[in-house]
Structure 1
Amino acid sequence: MSQKLTLHWSPKSPYVRKVMICAHELGLLPQLELVRSVAAMLKPNPDIMTVNPLSKIPTLVRPDGSVLFDSVVICEYLNDLAGGSLFPQEGESRWQSMRWHAFGDGLLEVLILWRNERERAQPLQNLMDAFELKARASLRLLDTEAAALEAAPLSIGTITLACAVGYMDYRFDSFGWRAQAPHLARWHAKLCERPSFKATEPVDG
């Protein structure tokens, strides 16, 4: 049996990027076997479904054949495996990190739904307006928290928020988020100097 961790992976997915950043930061890349997998909403992937009936990525198959779904579960598993510090265990730092994680995942959900809607032949304008309203409100709040983000150690919370903001660069370039949140933009630019972020920038193809 292979001792590798098999990760169903795509360079486009912000949720996969979250896992890959953690793997880079924790020194676990040599233990990962990456399987390029397409998980389209309207076309379930039978190969992924052999291990994850939800047909979603990331999906991690462990050496014993057991499977972990969902990016945060996989990230916490990797952190535990490496004895890392990306998941604060107690006190206010834990709750702040988990809050930022939930915020980042929630923002990603809004952005992905927004993108899916705009790709429809006849997008519903009310939905498009609602997604844009939520994204702009999120940027306003995060901009007020930029100093706290910069002062915080790298964690699942800061990683997830950075992945969400990075997804705006990838799929919403014309949205101009940096002009709306200049303090957040400075924090994000500094974080993106880390090798783990440079190595995991989303790409097409």
Structure 2
Amino acid sequence: MKLLMSPPSPFVRKVRVVLRETGLIDTIEEVAVTTTPLASDPDVSAANPLAKIPVLIRDDGPAIYDSRVINRFLNTHAQANLYPEGRLWEILTLEATADAIMEAAVGMTYEMRYREAAAQSPAWLDAQWAKVDRATRAISTRWMSHLSGPLNIGQIGVACALSYLDLRHDARGWRAGNDTLAAWHAAFAQRQSMLDTAVS
């Protein structure tokens, strides 16, 4: 199998971390592609009509895409326990919160990178960051208990989302007022799977 991916993407990183945490990394080839909102990689477009990464090219079925779909597939394939039944809805909600942080932050990156400076909207950027701010504070106040205990997909998603904020939007300072979450992230970032997928 092949994973079409670009290392800076936080959605890709979620999958790459899961590959390592589940021991599947030796069974799937990671294929780096260059794709943007304005110029899609042809292999990605052929496998995913939305032309988004990550995409998993399977040997025995059609390609599957969206990090949440791929990670459920990998979890089942490895017989891992990243989606514990006893806390499933809470873990999925935490993963969705992490994905929403990623979506807002990636949108901000695209706005600044691919839209001409004169056409950029500071108000829109601030509105996206407000989503990030509310989400990180919600995790700090409501979801910290789900970031402890055995590894789950919610933890991986939050770690990848926060690391992406550091990569692309560090100047906005998500750690302010989120001391406990910041300490958790600093510790989680030392997992080998996170170190192996880090982008500077």
Q: Do both share a fold (TM > 0.5)?
A: yes
- Report the count of equivalent residues: 197
Aligned to 1:16: 12
Q: Deviations over 1:70-117 (max 9, x none)?
A: 1011111111111000112x33x1111101011001111111112222
Match of residue 102 from structure 2? 108
Q: Which position in structure 2 is the counterpart of 1:85?
A: 81
Answer yes or no: is 1:166 the counterpart of 2:172. no
Residue matched to 2:185: 188
Residues 32-56 of structure 1: per-residue CA shift (max 9 Å, x gap): 1111112211112212222222211
Aligned ranges 1:14-163 → 2 under 5 Å: 14-88=10-84, 90-91=85-86, 93-119=87-113, 120=115, 121-122=117-118, 123-145=120-142, 147-163=144-160
- Contact 1:6–1:61 (8 Å) recurs in 2: yes
Amino acid across the alignment from 1:85:
N
What's the secondary structure of 2:176's corresponding residue? helix
Among 175, 180, 190, the residue aligned to 1:178: 175
Q: Which runs of 5+ in 2 are unaligned?
A: none
Letter in 1 for 2:95: H
CA distance in 2, matches of 1:53, 1:150: 34
Letter matched to residue 152 of structure 2: S
- Runs of 4+ aligned structure 1 residues displaced above 4 Å come to none
Q: Please give the per-residue CA displacement for 1:138-193, whole angstroms capped at 9, x wherever unaligned.
A: 22222224641342421111111111111001001111222231110011111112
Unpaired runs of 5+ in structure 1? none
* d(CA) in 1 for partners of 2:190, 2:108: 28
Task: Work out the CA distance in 2 between the residues paired with 1:126 and 1:197.
Answer: 33
**1:96–1:59 Cα change, 3 Å:** same
Q: Tell me the distance in 2 between the aligned counterparts of 1:36 and 1:150.
A: 30
Deviation at 1:65, TM superposition (A): 4.7
* Residue identity matched to 2:91: S
- C-alpha separation in 1, matches of 2:29 and 2:136: 35
Q: Distance in 2 between matches of 1:180 and 1:153?
A: 26
- The structure-2 alpha-carbon separation of the partners of 1:56 and 1:147, relative to structure 1 and needing over 3 Å to count, comes to closer
